Amino acid sequence: MSKVSAIIPTLWKAKDFTDHLVDVLIQDKSVGEIIIIDNAPTDFLYNHDKVSMFCLEENIYVNPSWNLGLDESSYDKFIIFNDDIIIPYNFVSQLESLLTSDKGIIGIDAPSVIKVPSFDGENITFLDRKIELKPITNRDWGFGIAMAGHRNSYYKIPENIRIWYGDDYLTQMNNEEGKVNYVIDDIPIFTKMSATSDLEEFSEIKNIDTLMYDRFVKRKE
């Protein structure tokens, strides 16, 4: 059976969400491994055979974390998660067969992203229906909180784009390869939105990311 590598960069800013996310993935039979890119100097340990924790001495930020997770992953299919979301149980099992090399990146549809102030067990559900995809031409808000695909649809994000625009880069590169990107239709994903990326300390990096991504886009034009 084909399996999926799940990758979660974290700074442990929403640990109750992350704990539950890891539990959901451990119990999902389609998840072959869970790779946690641990960017915090003090943090926690998941002691389970499926879980690999890459404990970094300093924060390498989210896009390089995605690159590292893909580099270290063992399966041909991947899914990258924000650490502050609630997905249904069985989510990856329902998604796995859709992660084919002829597709681009599959993300989350903006209306399906539900912002919540804190972790709430009422939002824990079991996905017992098939996932349907909608093709997209442009990435919308919320797309990158969970992104999946085949390894052949992942393009290493340039090192100077560290926090923002990683999902833009991936969707654009797939478009250029003639692949269609998709969103998952009508499956609720609960999130403590931007628990990490809204931190004041990252505003300067956002400016640099914007500059670097603009340069990348202009080079392509």
Partner 1 sequence: MAKAKAKSAAPKKETPTTDETITREEVKETKTEPEKAPPTPKASNVEKTESFTAAFKNDAHSAVDHFLKHNTDNPEEISREESNAGDDGVRVTLTYK
Q: What is the dihedral of CA 9, 13, 16, 21, to 10 degrees?
A: -20
d(CA 126, CA 114): 17
What gap in Å lies between CA 91 and CA 85, rounded to an integer?
13
Q: Which is nearer to partner 1, 88 or 104 (CB)?
A: 88
- DSSP-derived secondary structure letter, 5: E
- Contact between 38 and 54 (Cβ < 8 Å): yes
5 versus 172: smaller Cβ distance to partner 1: 5
Residue closer to partner 1 (CB basis): 84 or 209: 84
Whole-number Å distance between alpha carbons of 168 and 84 = 20
Out of 13, 23, 206, 212, the residue judged to bind partner 1 by CB under 8 A: 23
Q: Cα separation of 157 and 155, whole Å?
A: 6
Closest alpha carbon to 149 in 120, 125, 115, 174:
174
The window from 73-81, 157-165, 174-182, 194-202 that contacts partner 1 (CB under 8 A) reads 73-81
The verdict on 13 binding partner 1 (CB under 8 A) reads no
Contact call for residue 48 and partner 1 (CB under 8 A): yes
Helix (H, G, I), strand (E, B) or coil at 149: strand
Q: Is 42 in the site for partner 1 (CB under 8 A)?
A: yes
Residue 54 interacting with partner 1 (CB under 8 A): yes
- Which residue number, 109 or 168, has a Cβ lying nearer to partner 1? 109
Contact status, residue 104 vs residue 182, Cβ threshold 8 Å: yes
Backbone dihedral angles phi then psi of residue 37, each to the nearest 5 degrees = -95, 105
CB of 203 to partner 1, least distance (A): 20
Report 85-144 residues binding partner 1 (CB under 8 A).
88-90, 109-112, 114-115, 124-129
Helix (H) or strand (E) holding 209: helix 203-220
Q: Which of residues 157-186 bind partner 1 (CB under 8 A)?
A: 186
Query: Cβ closer to partner 1: 74 or 207?
Result: 74
Sole binder of partner 1 in the list 24, 79, 136, 161 (CB under 8 A): 24
| Residue ranges in contact with partner 1 by CB under 8 A | 2-3, 19-20, 22-24, 26-27, 32, 38, 41-48, 51-55, 72-76, 88-90, 109-112, 114-115, 124-129, 151, 186-189
